[in-house]
Amino acid sequence: MYTDLKGKVVAITGASSGLGKSMALRFGKEQAKVVINYFNNEKDANSVKEEVVQAGGEAVVVQGDVTKEDDVRNIVKTAIQEFGTLDVMINNAGRENPVASHEMPLDDWNKVISTNLTGAFLGSREAIKYFVENNIKGNVINMSSVHEMIPWPLFVHYAASKGGIKLMTETLALEYAPKGIRVNNIGPGAINTPINAEKFADPVQKKDVESMIPMGYIGEPEEIASVAVWLASKESSYVTGITLFADGGMTKYPSFQAGRG
Ligand code: NAI
């Protein structure tokens, strides 16, 4: 438990499923006030809200497309209207689809870049604007990926979006450090969420992914949520501009294990 998170106002984009949901529940356990943004699944968002309240937190649900400026402004506005302020902004919404790069339609590229990268920029910008104008030493957490450093054939849009998040976060961290505003990334490896459901339902593909993880197993969403609460808490007060990889060692060149190479 991180006692300083009690009563803190935390907005999470894409929080009706997967990592967003898991983070919302964990902040609920910390007795935080959670703004649950969802894109198109109101029913699931409402059940996340119920679970957050059951866990001991407070929660509000807000629809919004992170690629739209006004929708992102409305997420921050909802935090202020419902809970009086904003302390932590978590830009988590994301998407991906596999396509050979030479055949990738511009529409696929634009959808992934505008959700993963532009969406995280808009969320960061709106939160930081509020922090600066109100002298708040706020906290921004962006959901990156191991693919901010590992190239990923068939997912050039995704890799480009997460590589972009790396330098966006580092730049924002540098720019706003003098005001005490921290900006960090989480870099998950392969985690058991809906984005991977189809892949992990196939035992062959699942085994293949596991073979790329030195710790030997696919992570659970709670193992990312525990990183998020640490980054949001004062226990990480001197940490800014990093990507905290939670990936079972995936970024550590697993093919070199056992002295190969
Ligand atoms: P997910 O598919 O359950 O979550 C993505 C969420 O983003 C969904 O709730 C979806 O509705 C929402 N979303 C998509 N477009 C949106 C938009 N325009 N506006 C608002 N919300 C939108 O999958 P997961 O795994 O929970 O993904 C969350 C984040 O974690 C993503 O940024 C993803 O790239 C990242 N990530 C996930 C990994 C994994 O293995 N699950 C690994 C590394 C990064």
pLDDT of residue 236: 98
pLDDT of residue 173: 99
Is residue 111 domain-resident? yes
Q: Could you report the per-residue pLDDT of 47-94, keeping only the tens digit for each?
A: 999 999 999 999 999 999 999 999 999 999 999 999 999 999 999 999
Q: Is the CB of 14 under 6 A from ligand 1?
A: yes
Q: Is the CB of 94 under 6 A from ligand 1?
A: yes
**Ligand 1 centroid, distance to 94 Cα (angstroms):** 4
pLDDT of residue 154: 98
**Ligand 1 centroid, distance to 189 Cα (angstroms):** 13
Query: Mean of the per-residue pLDDT values for the chain?
Result: 98
Active site residues: 158
pLDDT of residue 45: 98
Is residue 253 domain-resident? no
Confidence of residue 119 (pLDDT cuts 50, 70, 90): very high
Token duo for residue 242: 């990093």
CATH of the domain at 176: 3.40.50.720
Q: Is the CB of 190 under 6 A from ligand 1?
A: yes
**Ligand 1 centroid, distance to 92 Cα (angstroms):** 6
Is residue 190 domain-resident? yes
Is residue 258 domain-resident? no
pLDDT of residue 225: 98
Is residue 232 domain-resident? yes
Q: Which domain holds residue 195?
A: 3-248
Is residue 37 domain-resident? yes
Please tell me whether the overall predicted TM-score, pTM, comes out greater than 0.95 for this model: yes
Pocket test for ligand 1, best of 66, 68, 95, 162 (most atoms within 8 A of CB): 95
- Could you give the number of structural domains in the chain? 1
Q: Which atom of ligand 1 is nearest to the CA of 114?
A: 18
Q: Could you report the per-residue pLDDT of 174-232, keeping only the tens digit for each?
A: 999 999 999 999 999 999 999 999 999 999 999 999 999 999 999 999 999 999 999 99
Q: Is the CB of 191 under 6 A from ligand 1?
A: yes
